[in-house]
Amino acid sequence: MGSMLGDWPSCDPHNFSKLRRADPSIPSRMMPATYHRTHSRTLPPPDQVITTEAKNILLRHIYRSAEEENDLRPKRAATKHLIPEHGCKQPRATSY
Amino acid sequence: MFRRNNIASRIFQRQIYTPAPGTSVYCARRFYENLVPSCTIYDVECPDQSFRKFTDDGQYLISFSRNQQDLVVYRPTWLSFSCKEEDCDAHDLPPKAKRFESFFTHLYSVSLASCNGNELICKDFFLYVESNQYGIIATSTPSIHDAAANGAAIQGVPYVEKLTFHLIRLEDGVILDVKVFHNDFVNLTHNMGVFLYDDLLAIASLRNQTIHILQIRDSGNLVDVRAIGAFCREDDELFLNSNAQCIAFPDKSKLHQLPGNNVQNGTHLSQPNQEDSLLSGIKQRLLSFIFQGISNEEKDPALRAQWLKKKFYFRFQDYVDLIIWKVQFLDRQHLLIKFGSVDGGVSRNADQHTAFLAVYNMETTEIVAFYQNSAEELYLLFERFCDHFHTASKNSVSMNFVSSHSNNIHALEQIRSVKSKASSQFMKKMLGSLPYSCQSLSPSPYFDQSLFRFDEKLISASDRPRQSTDHPIKFILRRQPCSLKFKIKLGPEAGNADGRTKKIASFLFHPFLPLALSIQQTLFLQQPSVVNIHFRG
């Protein structure tokens, strides 16, 4: 196994000489370590199926506000849950 | 972004640049800045008919005969004539080109209303099923006012003896199916009482307080799906009738319960033939939803009864007296229903009456939400998601790109500036347009607010007639250099001699050709209407 950059053309062939390994059996320290996960928190559930939401966004908002009222949470002002999730989005002055 | 004005440069540029993702329709539309209906033929000699609209795919021009008995269908075409001389631009159109027939080819006429049955076509009503090129036209007998209520009918609402909806294949004028209503009333002015979404039709019967859902099959049949009103599910009537037969005598203990206590949606026993029977159907759903909502507002169980007395029972009769005014689809399962008092249902100034909007799920037969027509929460939803109230069919490409304040920054700035001046009245006025009437907006690119600026009081995408003006209606380019691109003028330069006669004007714009008709009518006089053709010369 050749070195990673040793065979590529270069103005000075000695530039990458440090990377050249004479003995391929010596494990290279430059090789990045493979990541092994130590937890399974981020695994998707084995039966997960990703599909398109059947309800459009207007109906999702209507259902969400109806569920919040039914949960008997303290009443909030109507504007709060209608603030966009990405608060930084602003309408552009010029279109497309 | 710098954009060239010259059409040839734009075409060269189109060869090189691909539009940003999701903007191909808008980018193609920009060519309409260069192709404008700048020529006008005034007072074209045309058949004395009532021109209704261009279909949304631009294939047909629908009109009704003056006696309101025939449907007349034209195919929009284009001028074709050649000039053999060298300098053709200096020549005007030859007289034979300045005719109605040069632009429209008569396809057929179909008689829909019979002479002896005193039925007439409702000339304000037309719906188009774009996927199959079917048209829906209504004929009715004259409406009878001050009719006494009988049975399930509401007093105070007029009725017609016979109302017929015709499903017509516009390709050849064949009547495929009809749906007839007897002793009923549906408000057909500007498509108000009927809503078409994909292949589903919702007809709001005001007199019998029922929402009829029909499906338009590809074969051309109108099939009943359900009738929402006294019953919610398709088999409710069967269930109640079979129970009524089993129960010999009414259960007196149940009669003393107030209907509002029936919080379990869908489980109730009622004897349908008794005068003081429990409320059923959508009225029961509505009242139990209102009851639950008001009950949830008071956290302390000890105070809840008092709270309910004040907020619910005190107004109970007002809630019971609410009637369905108008309906639209939000999607295939959900309806947006407007409820109000009997007075407002048929009056012209419905805005002044208090009304409520409810979202109803047809599959689960539950009311999902209930708002007053001035609710801020509903207005915010309307401002952000207006396009989802304008439910356009997936099959209709053009109708998905109509400018609204949810998809266009200029329209949004306009309503926000009006809102900042008079907030609460403005909200109520804007929400007064809900539920929307179906197919009431023109998909013409000339009404795209990103391309052109125009006076919305004089002309807009809505097909409602407006007060006519002698001044030309200007369409000004929205982006720099903000130049005047074309004008729509209703009369020749000389103007009209009698300036005091009130005139109304209506505009029919073709969905994609630079072609428009403007029709000026004199009110209260039997003069024929004046038709002008605006086209790109």
Q: Is cis: bond before B481, omega within 30 of 0?
A: yes
Closest C-alpha among B173, B221, B171 to residue B201 = B221
Using CB atoms, which residue from B330, B334, B409 is nearest to A95?
A: B409
pTM tops 0.90: no
CA distance B186 to B354: 21
CA distance B279 to B266: 12
pLDDT in tens, chain B (537 residues): 566 788 899 999 889 988 899 888 888 899 999 999 988 888 888 888 999 999 999 999 999 998 899 999 999 988 777 677 776 666 677 777 788 888 999 999 999 987 666 889 999 999 999 999 999 999 999 888 766 666 666 777 888 899 999 999 999 999 999 999 999 999 998 899 999 999 999 999 999 999 999 999 999 999 999 999 988 888 888 888 888 776 645 554 444 444 444 444 444 444 444 445 678 889 999 999 999 988 888 888 888 888 888 888 888 988 988 999 999 999 999 999 999 988 766 665 556 678 899 999 999 999 999 998 888 889 999 999 998 998 877 777 778 888 899 889 999 998 888 888 877 788 888 888 889 998 999 999 999 999 999 998 889 898 888 888 888 999 999 988 889 999 988 876 545 555 566 788 999 999 999 999 999 888 776 777 889 999 987
- Are the C-beta atoms of B261 and B268 separated by less than 8 Å? no
Residues of B in contact with A65 (CB under 8 A): 369, 377
CA distance B196 to B56: 13
Q: Do A91 and B381 touch (CB under 8 A)?
A: no
Give the per-residue SS3 of B153-195.
CCCCCCEEEEEEEEEEECCCCEEEEEEEEEEECCCCHHHCCEE
Q: Do B331 and A55 touch (CB under 8 A)?
A: yes
Q: Cβ of A90 under 8 Å from any chain B Cβ? A: no
Q: Do A65 and B385 touch (CB under 8 A)?
A: no
For residue A65, give how far its alpha carbon lies from the nearest alpha carbon of chain B (Å): 9
Q: Around B57, how many Cα atoms within 13 Å sit in the side-chain half-sphere?
A: 18
Using CB atoms, which residue from A55, A56, A82 is nearest to B380?
A: A82
ipTM over 0.90 threshold: no
Q: Do B330 and A59 touch (CB under 8 A)?
A: yes
CA closest to B391 among chain A residues? A56
Q: Cβ of A89 under 8 Å from any chain B Cβ? A: no
CA closest to B22 among chain A residues? A96
Instruction: At B371, list the tokens.
Output: 């708002």
Closest C-alpha among B142, B191, B223, B481 to residue B328 = B191
